[in-house]
Amino acid sequence: MARSNYTFTSESVSEGHPDKVSDRISDEVVDLFYRRAAEVGMDPWDVRCAAETLVTTNRVVIAGEMRGPKGEGEVTTEEIIAAARAAIKDIGYEQSGFHHEHAEITVLLHDQSAHIAQGVDDGTGEHKEEGAGDQGIMFGYASNETEALMPAPLYYSHKILEELAKKRHSGELDQLLPDAKSQVSVVYENGKPVRASSIVLSTQHKGEDQTSADIRAMVEPTIRDVLPDGWITDDTVWHVNPTGTFVIGGPDGDAGLTGRKIIVDTYGGAAPHGGGAFSGKDPTKVDRSAAYVSRYLAKNIVAAGIADWCTIQLSYAIGVAQPQSLYVDTGGQADDAKIEKAIRSLMTLTPRNIREKLDLNKPIYAKTAAYGHFGRTPTDEGHFSWEKTDLVDALKAAMAE
């Protein structure tokens, strides 16, 4: 039997955290290839990118594989460097140890392996239908404990940093710098989140003379605004910049790599993770696209009222279009086998159909790089299309049969 009274903790990291800087640059590279394809009339279905980024003190290294326009419309090294510098500037890094103008940027991208391409491209390889870009397992999750149908500890950890970043960019909190981490421990009673038992925030700031108390006074009003009424009590434990001064930060303070914050990117540990990172990958890579569709399906199941929470797993083999398995878990709240049957009747879960259904062949990925890939608002431009709940009525009908 599931526990009903417990405390669960999740963390988030800001857009200026070194790993998130790497994720942002990698996703900017993906977007650059999609934008260029649109400009020169290349079929976006043929774009391929798997960009990995390392950042450290005034140094950026971008490596990986790609396929884009050739000849006059080819994406140049100079353009990739310019995209990286623009991303660093947008995040807000203008420090002596990491500056968008002065950082040395090396690009080591190469053409996609022909042996990988033959498994993904239509009409090639042993399976002629477009297959998955790799083998692997992917998970999706949703819970009705927040309006966004996300786990509360992660949702509010993200929101704290997102709001502080908005105020930093606007100048309202101009003493803050880009690197930050948050952590919220949430008390659950009868399975529902009711209050925060502790709040942890470490944020980079200007001025060696700023104390932890100074930083708490600066950020506490925003945190109180973000958390639901009544969640902060006299018993809530606060740790704001608990080690003291935090001026040296970002890639100058610690190296960053693409894909090191996959739990932050997904469900904060409240649900399983398949292990594959998202950022830097085009959607032929099922690490990304199948994780997105798994979230889409889980969210629609919860939004339909079929279950309070839902976990979905998909698995794929490289070069093979159809998933190897589909698993649904609602903890006995509903007929999971019937949900699986309903999903298969409503959606073909091949990589190509996922890309088409969620409209993923677009330059939409840089916006996903910070504050989570899930639980964010979809837009008409296709950003976060996997957050839409347009499958609710069809799922209700299928479950009623």
pLDDT tens-digit readout, 68-95: 998 889 999 999 999 999 999 999 999 9
Report residue 2's pLDDT band, with 50, 70 and 90 as the boundaries: low
Q: Is 169 annotated in the active site?
A: no
Q: Is 19 annotated in the active site?
A: yes
Mean pLDDT of 300-329: 97
Annotated catalytic residue: which of 8, 11, 17, 142?
Answer: 17
pLDDT value, residue 398: 96
Annotated catalytic residue: which of 38, 86, 255, 394?
Answer: 255
Q: Which of 44-48, 108-112, 178-182, 267-271 has the lowest average pLDDT?
A: 108-112
Rounded to whole angstroms, how far apart are CA atoms 251 and 262? 19
Rounded to whole angstroms, how far apart are CA atoms 292 and 141? 10
Annotated catalytic residue: which of 139, 246, 374, 384?
Answer: 246
Q: Is 181 annotated in the active site?
A: yes
If you search the block for the tokens 């990491």, which residue do you land on? 98
Contact call for residues 244 and 208 (beta carbons, < 8 A): no
Token pair of 350 as six digits: 């091949």
pLDDT value, residue 383: 83
Q: Is 86 annotated in the active site?
A: no
Q: Is 20 annotated in the active site?
A: yes
Q: Is 70 annotated in the active site?
A: no
First to last CA, the chain: 29
Q: Is 299 annotated in the active site?
A: no
Report residue 382's pLDDT band, with 50, 70 and 90 as the boundaries: confident
Residue 117 has pLDDT above 90, yes or no: no
Annotated catalytic residue: which of 46, 214, 220, 254?
Answer: 254
Q: Is 341 annotated in the active site?
A: no
Contact call for residues 2 and 352 (beta carbons, < 8 A): no
pLDDT value, residue 288: 97
Report residue 351's pLDDT band, with 50, 70 and 90 as the boundaries: very high
Residue 9 has pLDDT above 70, yes or no: yes
Q: Is 65 annotated in the active site?
A: yes
Q: Is 287 annotated in the active site?
A: yes
Backbone φ/ψ region at 372: left (φ over 0), alpha (ψ -120 to 50), beta = left
Residue 3 has pLDDT above 80, yes or no: no
Q: Which residues contact 129 (CB under 8 A, 6 or more apart)?
A: 122, 321, 350, 352
Mean pLDDT of 332-350: 97
Rounded to whole angstroms, how far apart are CA atoms 323 and 199? 40
Annotated catalytic residue: which of 11, 15, 23, 52?
Answer: 52
Annotated catalytic residue: which of 24, 36, 159, 261?
Answer: 261
In tens, the pLDDT along 91-113 reads 999 999 999 999 999 999 998 76
Q: Is 254 annotated in the active site?
A: yes
